[in-house]
A = this chain, B = another copy of it.
Amino acid sequence: MQASPDTHHLVVVGAGFGGLQLVRDLAGAGLRITLIDQRNHHLFQPLLYQVATTILATSEIAWPIRRLFRERADVTTLLAEVSGVDADGKRVLLADGGAQPYDTLVLATGARHSYFGRDEWETFAPGLKTLEDATTIRRRLLLAFEQAERETDPATRQALLTFAVIGAGPTGVELAGIIAELAKQILWREFRNIDTREARVLLIEAGARVLPAFPVSLSDYAQAALEKLGVEVLLGRPVSDIRADGVTIGTESVGCRTVVWAAGVAASPAAAWLGIAADRAGRASVDANLNAPGRPDIFVIGDTAALMTADGKPVPGIAPAAKQQGAHVAKVIRARLAGKTAPGPFRYRHQGNLATIGKSAAVVDLGWLQLRGWIAWWIWGIAHIFFLIGARSRVAVAWSWFWTFISGQHSARLITQGRKAPERKP
């Protein structure tokens, strides 16, 4: 049964982890919900790097949003790009000129990569947030080997066989590890003019250690594991320039044709839409119930909200944090609709940090327990399979991993979309 038009109308912008959790937790709450996203799919971003590095297929980590809510007659899914919020008029503005009125609004619009004011770097160093980002990186990675195979100039060939990952958080570490495995263990038997084992994989980090969010002992282990795979870990060395033909690390210029950006993120413009204060990363200031200041009808959650933990550290921009915020706002909305007192302030419960290094090592930090090596790898793998949506994806991803494990081959080594497919004119 679809809700009647005078039912309280909740508009949720963004079908990431936070937005989905919110909508799920509001099942049966008697609302009319409109879920807007500029993509038709929810994306399991924690495994996006495996699409970029040829292990998983795009459809294994993405699900049509409408299918997720097909049984929920109270939920209308809208594929549209939001361009702003008319908070006084209680309307979400759409890029195509339309508008969507709301009674309550939740902005869960996430983050994009940030180039610290050097936006011109994006052309040469794509980040990793969307399926298109992942297939772009996959294409560049594979094309570099192909071009090196045909290149006769030694310096150009060396630059084609040099891969730089900038930023040594979990994404950077995971990317560098698999790129090294690809070059040094998988591809070398397939080329005749180059030895891909001679490829350089640079992991460049301005800070003092890899995985700065982890305990030092796990950072040290991760670094050693990366170096064992052949990754050159360059610490305390910020990148000062990125060009088509190379990167400058501090003052040293390195010829390099493939660069991936895993260094910084900036929130989506939710704070700007609302005209409210934002932190340096553009994340909107919200109160303890995730309400925008002075706007009890507007919530901001996930990567685009600025929040502190009980011990004064920023809430990390990871899936569990977004999910907890979505769940909290669902409780607040339910309480308000029922005329009850809202639950206490949002409290972030950190469940742990996980990262993999190649296909047999990983680090797990649960706070009360630190693990490394193959046991951590299994915990990492099982946790990720568990959090995927639906039996189909779980089987498909498990099969892709199993196959990679037993065959040593990656299953999605496709160069696609390099040239523009013919596009119809409007």
Are B123 and A424 in contact, with the CB atoms below 8 A?
A: yes
Shortest beta-carbon contacts, A-B, top 6:
A59-B412, A66-B190, A57-B57, A79-B146, A70-B190, A132-B421
Are B78 and A414 in contact, with the CB atoms below 8 A?
A: no
CB neighbours of A150 from chain B (8 A):
78-80, 98
A67 on the B face (CB < 8 A): yes
Are A422 and B66 in contact, with the CB atoms below 8 A?
A: no
| Copies of this subunit | 2
Contact status of A414 and B64, CB under 8 A, knowing A78-B150, A123-B425, A190-B77: yes
Are B76 and A192 in contact, with the CB atoms below 8 A?
A: yes
A309 on the B face (CB < 8 A): no
CB neighbours of A77 from chain B (8 A):
190, 192
How far is it, in angstroms, between the C-alpha of A171 and the C-alpha of B131 when the chains are bound? 28
Are A123 and B422 in contact, with the CB atoms below 8 A?
A: yes
Proximity string of chain A (383-426) to chain B, C-beta cutoff 8 Å, 1 when within and 0 when not: 00000000010011001100100010101111111011111111
CB neighbours of A421 from chain B (8 A):
126, 129-130, 132-133, 135-136, 417
Which among B70, B129, B422 is the interface contact of A112 at CB below 8 angstroms? B422
Total interface residues in chain A, CB < 8 Å: 77
Which among B39, B112, B192, B426 is the interface contact of A415 at CB below 8 angstroms? B39
Can you offer 18 A-B residue contacts whose CB atoms are under 8 A? A2-B192, A41-B414, A59-B414, A62-B414, A66-B190, A76-B192, A78-B149, A79-B143, A81-B422, A114-B424, A130-B421, A131-B414, A132-B417, A132-B420, A136-B423, A140-B424, A396-B399, A396-B411
How far is it, in angstroms, between the C-alpha of A98 and the C-alpha of B152 when the chains are bound? 12
Are A413 and B191 in contact, with the CB atoms below 8 A?
A: no
Contact status of A423 and B117, CB under 8 A, knowing A77-B190, A78-B149, A396-B411: no
A143 to chain B, nearest CB (A): 8
A413 to chain B, nearest CB (A): 4
CB neighbours of A98 from chain B (8 A):
150
Which among B76, B189, B424 is the interface contact of A119 at CB below 8 angstroms? B424
A278 on the B face (CB < 8 A): no
How far is it, in angstroms, between the C-alpha of A399 and the C-alpha of B392 when the chains are bound? 8
CB neighbours of A424 from chain B (8 A):
112-114, 119, 123-124, 140, 244, 266
